[in-house]
Homo-oligomer: A and B are copies of this chain.
Amino acid sequence: MANSFGKLFTITTFGESHGPAIGGVIDGCPAGIELNFDTIQAELDRRKPGQSKIVTQRKEPDEVQFLSGIFEGKTTGASIGFIINNVHQRSNDYSHIKDSYRPSHADYTYDKKYGVRDYRGGGRTSARETANWVVGGAVAKQVIPNITINAYTSSVGDLFLEKPYQDIDFKETENNIVRCPDPEVAKKMIQKIDDIRKQGDTIGGTITCVVKNVPVGLGEPIFDKLHAQLGKAMLSINAVKGFEYGSGFCGAKMKGSEHNDIFNADGTTKTNLSGGIQGGISNGMDIYFRVAFKPVATIMQAQQTIDKKGDIVEMHGKGRHDPCVVPRAVPIVEALTAMVLVDFMLLNK
C-alpha cells in the first residue's frame, strides 16, 4: 500500500498532474466532525501554484470536491473520497523529456523500475500530489482543533532566520509570500529567490514546524515513535533531504549535562532540547522539527543529460517551475504533521 499513509487515520492517494484529476480517500476520520470547507480550501490556496511571483506560474484553481463520507456537513465515519480536477495541464510542455532523463529527477529510476513512464509533468512524481495531502491535513486539523501547528520558512539558501522559535510571532508567517515570519528576513529571502529565478536557477531551503498543545502520550514505541513517523512523513515530501527534531544535529555535539531537560514540579521542563518527545512519546512540551529541501532540479539553463538509448543530449528546462519549493511546502509540512498527530491521537485512545 505504497500510496497510503497512516494506521487508523489514513490517506490513500492517486493522480498525475496531467490526468483528468488527482484525489484520494481519507479513511478512519472520526464520525461527527463538522467540517469547515472554506478552511480546507484556504489550505489548498496556500499550496497552489501561481500565488506569487516567486512560485511556478502554472495556474490551477485546485478546488477540492468531496464525494462521500460527509452528510449534512458532518463526517459519518465512512471513508471520505475527494478529487481535485486538473485544469491547466499543457502536455506539450513535456515532449522534450519523453525520451530523455532530467538530471536529479526521478525519470531514470521510474523508467528502470516500472518499464513504462508517464513523462507528462513528472507523472506520479509531480509535486501536484501534495495537494492531496493538504486536503487530508486540512481535514485532520479539524479533528484536533486545540493543537496548533505552525510551519514557516526558516532558511533560503544561506539566508537563515536566526531567531529561536520561541521568539517568533506565527501570525506574521502568512503576511509575506515566502512565509518567513520575520518581515526583514522575509524581504531578503524573496529578493534572493527572485534573483535566482532570473538566473534560471533554483535554490534550496528549510522549513521549521512548531506544534503546541500536544497532549502527553502520543507515539507508539518501539517502532512507531512519534518523531520517527513525523520524520517518515517529512521525508515523503518531494525534494526533502533531511529531518531533525529538538536539538537535532546540533545535539550530537553536546554533552549530557548540557542537553538534559530538567523537570519543573509540574512535569514541564526548563529547557526543551528533547523537542517535546521523549522515548518516542510526546511529553506535552512544544514539538519542533526542521526539514531540509534541496533546490528544485528543473532549471532554466542548459544541462547535459542522456536519453533512453544512453546517448548524451543537451536539455533546457521548459514549462512553469518553482525557483524555490519552500514557500509552497509550508502548508504541506503542516498537513502531514496534522495527519500524523490525528493518527496517534486515535491510536492512543
Binding site for B on A (CB under 8 A): 1-5, 7-8, 10, 12-16, 19-25, 27-28, 31-32, 65, 67-69, 71, 74-81, 83, 101, 103-106, 108-110, 112-118, 123-125, 129, 155, 157-158, 196, 201-206, 216-217, 219-225, 227-229, 231-232, 235-236, 241-249, 251-267, 269, 273-275, 277-283, 292-299, 301, 303-306, 310-312, 347-349
The contact of A24 among B4, B25, B123, by CB within 8 Å, is: B25
Question: Contact: B265 with A312, CB < 8 Å?
Answer: yes
Given A79-B12, A116-B32, A279-B106: A251 touches B241 (CB 8 Å cut-off): yes
* Given A71-B123, A79-B12, A112-B217, A1-B27 contact (CB < 8 Å): yes
B-side contacts of A206, CB under 8 Å: 249, 252
Q: 6 closest A-B pairs (Cβ-Cβ)?
A: A106-B279, A242-B244, A14-B81, A202-B256, A2-B220, A109-B281
The minimal Cβ–Cβ distance linking A271 to chain B, given in whole angstroms, is 9
Residues of B near A277 (CB, < 8 A) are 109
B259 touches A204 (CB 8 A): yes
Extra contacts, 9 of them, besides A13-B79, A83-B83, A204-B259 (Cβ < 8 A), are: A5-B223, A12-B25, A71-B117, A78-B118, A113-B219, A205-B252, A225-B235, A242-B248, A265-B306
- Assess whether A25 is in contact with B13, with CB atoms less than 8 Å apart: yes
Question: Are B76 and A118 interface neighbours, CB within 8 A?
Answer: yes
Contact of A247 among B10, B241, B261, B306 (CB under 8 A): B241
Task: Say yes or no: A310-B104 contact (C-beta < 8 A), given A205-B252, A221-B2.
Answer: no
CB distance from A217 to the nearest CB of B (A): 4
